[in-house]
Amino acid sequence: MRRHSIAVIPGDGIGREVTPAALEVLEAAGRAHGFGLEPTEYPWGCDYFVENGRMMPPEALDQLRDSDAIFLGAVGRPDVPDHISLWGLLIPIRRTFRQYVNLRPIRLWPGVPSPLRDVTPADVDMVIVRENNEGEYSEIGGRLHQGTEDELAIQEAVFTRRGTDRVMAYACELASGRSGRICSATKSNGIIHTMPFWDERFAHATAQHPQLEAEQVLIDALAAMVVLNPGRFDVIVASNLFGDILSDLAAAVAGSIGIAPSGNLNPEREFPSMFEPVHGSAPDIAGQGIANPIGAIWSGAQMLEHLGEEEAAAGVLAAVEDMLAGGGPRTRDLGGTATTADVTAALVSSFDTR
Ligand SMILES: NC(=O)c1ccc[n+]([C@@H]2O[C@H](COP(=O)([O-])OP(=O)(O)OC[C@H]3O[C@@H](n4cnc5c(N)ncnc54)[C@H](O)[C@@H]3O)[C@@H](O)[C@H]2O)c1
């Protein structure tokens, strides 16, 4: 039997609810498709920070390094500043393991209402390829004269040719295997150094793929277009910040952020890749058992695909689709009354009864 070792970090808030739920579904898919998962759980996150003064232990990255993949819930707790939870756990994992592609597929599932009038599942099926290692999320900068009238803060954005080219190459390959359409999110009218550079590298990347239909759109206009005409977009490549914002917007267009998945990929496979739902720890609903587990489950399907279990990955997505289209249980964010456990049980039983 094939075995895959998975480092599991449930994290905080609803991360601790949706992660075990997703693992139950992935294990059911494994039983149906002849493989097993070997999860090792790490209790890192904000509770760990409150007790130990750091989000994860100093040797954490070495503990994760040899796993086949990392499966994360979410981190964040209202009494811990968000920059501590992000820079103490997520960003070190993404950067040390060169997970430079953040792959965020967005689909409107049949049976899920979009907040947009007249939008059908055929209109919303796109993938945001977010640069995940550099860009606007940089440690370069500083603060001076804190607490005085002369206080200032400087934050440098960092765009390297290597970092920009590799994510664009990935996005072009992806677009070639899909509709052949690719759009770059830019802001070269207002940001005069990094964004014209981004545009030049996009022109360079798409010149290697002359069959692609390529366009670049200013991020502000692009945000409006994704709402007004989502069907126009297939693969969108974006910098770290623009991709982060745009993918929450697109997830809302597709009905709920509770559904949206993401993969932090090291395409060269020198290091483990990490899979996590797009949503955060949702402290407003944590502990109530009502979080939508589909974002975590879909992220798990991305993980199975990455591990070479393509059939099982497709099986998980088909099970989700059948459940939603067939009027199966749905959580409150999708207008239903089901609990996390109800949705999980429905999906597990769809595998176990096959
Ligand atoms: N990758 C991560 O770990 C990650 C990502 C985003 C935010 N965060 C952190 O999470 C905390 C909360 O952030 P936020 O409130 O801005 O974003 P959030 O995604 O946690 O929640 C936004 C809204 O969506 C709802 N929601 C989110 N996921 C849901 C689900 N699965 N089912 C049903 N409803 C769901 C929440 O109830 C909330 O109303 C913060 O500390 C933030 O830093 C972490």
Strand 273-277 versus strand 152-155 pairing type:
unpaired
Residue of the CA atom closest to atom 29 of ligand 1: 258
Strand 152-155 versus strand 35-41 pairing type:
unpaired
Residue 270 pLDDT more than 70? Answer: yes
Can you give the pLDDT at residue 352?
76
Cα–Cα distance for residue pair 209/123, rounded to 1 Å: 25
Residue 354 pLDDT more than 70? Answer: no
Name the average pLDDT for the chain.
Answer: 96
What's the whole-number mean pLDDT along residues 186-212?
A: 97
Token pair 């952020």 is at which residue? 257
Give the SS3 label for residue 208: coil
CA of 210 to the centre of ligand 1 (A): 39
pLDDT tens digits, residue range 323-351? Answer: 999 999 999 999 999 999 999 999 999 98
Nearest residue to 22 (alpha-carbon basis) of 252, 285, 279 = 279
Q: Which of 125, 234, 248, 322 is catalytic?
A: 248
What's the whole-number mean pLDDT along residues 228-254?
A: 95
pLDDT tens digits, residue range 137-180? Answer: 999 999 999 999 999 999 999 999 999 999 999 999 999 999 99
pLDDT > 70 fraction of the chain, expressed in percent and rounded: 100
Residue 353 pLDDT more than 80? Answer: no
CA geometry: angle at 335 spanning 332 and 339, to 5°?
A: 30
Can you give the pLDDT at residue 165?
98
Residue 79 pLDDT more than 90? Answer: yes
Q: Is the Cβ atom of 102 under 6 angstroms away from ligand 1?
A: no
Q: Is 199 a catalytic residue?
A: no
In this structure, what DSSP letter does residue 82 have?
H
CA dihedral 100, 129, 253, 81 (to 10 degrees): 20
Give residue 118's pLDDT band: very low, low, confident or very high (50, 70, 90).
confident
Q: Is the Cβ atom of 291 under 6 angstroms away from ligand 1?
A: yes
CA of 280 to the centre of ligand 1 (A): 3
Nearest residue to 267 (alpha-carbon basis) of 131, 137, 157 = 131
pLDDT > 90 fraction of the chain, expressed in percent and rounded: 97
CA of 282 to the centre of ligand 1 (A): 4
Q: Is the Cβ atom of 333 under 6 angstroms away from ligand 1?
A: yes
Q: Which of 62, 66, 82, 220 is catalytic?
A: 220
Q: Which atom of ligand 1 is nearest to the CA of 295?
A: 31
233 burial via Cβ count (<10 Å: 0-12, 13-18, 19+): buried
Give the SS3 label for residue 339: coil
Q: What is the pTM of this model?
A: 0.95
Between 255 and 9, whose confidence is greater? Answer: 9
